[in-house]
Amino acid sequence: MKKLILPLLLLVGITMLVAVESAPSAVVGYFKLSLADGAVSTISLPLVPKTPVTGSNLAIQNAIGNQFSDLDTFTDANSGLSAEMDLGGGGWYGDLENLEYGGAYYVSRYAGNGPVNFFLMGKVDPQPLSIAIGGGAVTTFGLNEARTIPLTPALFGTNETELDVITDADTGLGAEYDPGLGNWYGDLVDVGGLEPTHAYYYSCVGTGFTWNYVPAPPTTRNVVSNTNSK
């Protein structure tokens, strides 16, 4: 289950600290996610992680911290780069060193480690994205958004092709583009659109295109709606 909780409360038992935001208009919060023993879930970053003293705020050690157990893994759904948790060795190690806005990641809980709750924390500051949607291929993506984004033709800049399909990587809810309707239709439209922390498969039957996503500013910087349960 995914739940956005604001304002930020003190978290006990995790090593990642949250920076204090000085700007009074900024919203800082977190999404709480759950992963069962031996399970795999697909996620994206809905918030902008805190800026560390040194290094990148998108470094997996900074963005995720030591919330997981030995042998748990993060894998980039598109590139296949991965990182494994080694608490005794100082945290995450592997060729997946940095996460990306718009990226999608398989989070795997090693069987025997038990269930885990973990948090995606940071600032509400949606980032623009440029994502290559492969023609005749499936591209996995997410949005750096803390709110649900409606699935409309304008979202993809009218680059959609007849029979293009978008599917939620975990729930399986999908939508198909119909040029006769001039719109998407399906369960994914019915639930409101693309949800925070979720990742999606875009199956493109056409030649493909570069999707330049420019987020609209929130209608208010003080309120962020709760997400739907996964």
- Percent above pLDDT 90 for the chain: 76
pLDDT of 80 above 80: yes
Shortest CA distance to 46 belongs to which of 79, 2, 80, 8?
2
Between 222 and 182, residue with greater pLDDT: 182
Over residues 19-69, the pLDDT tens digits come to 333 333 467 899 999 999 999 999 999 999 999 988 899 999 999 999 999
Shortest CA distance to 95 belongs to which of 80, 110, 78?
80
Distance (Å, whole) CA 180 – CA 51: 46
Over residues 183-197, the pLDDT tens digits come to 999 999 999 999 999
Are 78 and 139 in contact by the 8 Å Cβ rule? The answer is: yes
Q: Using CB atoms within 10 A of its CB, is residue 126 exposed (0-12), middle (13-18) or buried (19+)?
A: buried
Distance (Å, whole) CA 73 – CA 39: 11
Distance (Å, whole) CA 86 – CA 91: 5
Note the pLDDT of residue 15: 31
Q: Residue 138 phi/psi, 5° resolution?
A: -115, 125
Residues 6+ apart with CB under 8 A from 105: 42, 43, 44, 74, 75, 76, 77, 99, 199
